[in-house]
């Protein structure tokens, strides 16, 4: 007989945590994104300066992180919708793992295309 797991070490709780953290980090990113979009309207030269930074390898890796956060949040949201509208099944732990794998695959595909 296995000892009971602490609730915060279970796969579905970790999937919840990833979804929550990715949402918070994306919310912190959005003001910077809108600021740069505003530069496109007001000052094209300043925007060109920021866009020149986008070729730096560190920012390519940061874009990988951004795409991973977007994909993880999307897949986590779809998983939550499945919880809401579908009956409980044993496959839902597998769905959490599949959501993480799919998010990582999207981000890796973006990173391969960026270089």
pLDDT in tens, 62-88: 888 899 999 989 888 888 887 778 776
Most confident segment among 22-26, 34-38, 55-59, 103-107? 22-26
More confident residue, 59 or 91: 59
CATH for 10-114 is 1.20.1300.10
The domain limits of the chain are 10-114
pLDDT digits (tens, 9 = 90+) for 16-34: 888 899 999 999 999 988 8
Average confidence (pLDDT) over 34-52: 82
CA-based nearest residue to 105, from 72, 78, 60:
72
What is the signed CA dihedral for 28, 77, 107, 58, rounded to 10 degrees? 10
């Amino acid at each position: 007989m296995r000892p009971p797991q602490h609730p915060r070490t279970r796969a579905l709780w970790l999937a919840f945590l990833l979804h929550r953290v990715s949402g918070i980090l994306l919310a912190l990113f959005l003001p910077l994104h809108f600021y740069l979009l505003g530069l496109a309207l007001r000052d094209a030269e300043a925007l060109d300066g920021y866009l020149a930074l986008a070729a730096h390898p560190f920012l390519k890796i940061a874009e990988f992180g951004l795409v991973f956060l977007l994909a993880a949040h999307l897949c986590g949201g779809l998983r939550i919708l499945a919880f809401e509208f579908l009956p409980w099944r044993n496959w839902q732990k597998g769905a959490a793992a599949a959501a993480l794998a799919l998010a990582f695959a999207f981000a890796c595909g973006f990173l391969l295309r960026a270089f």
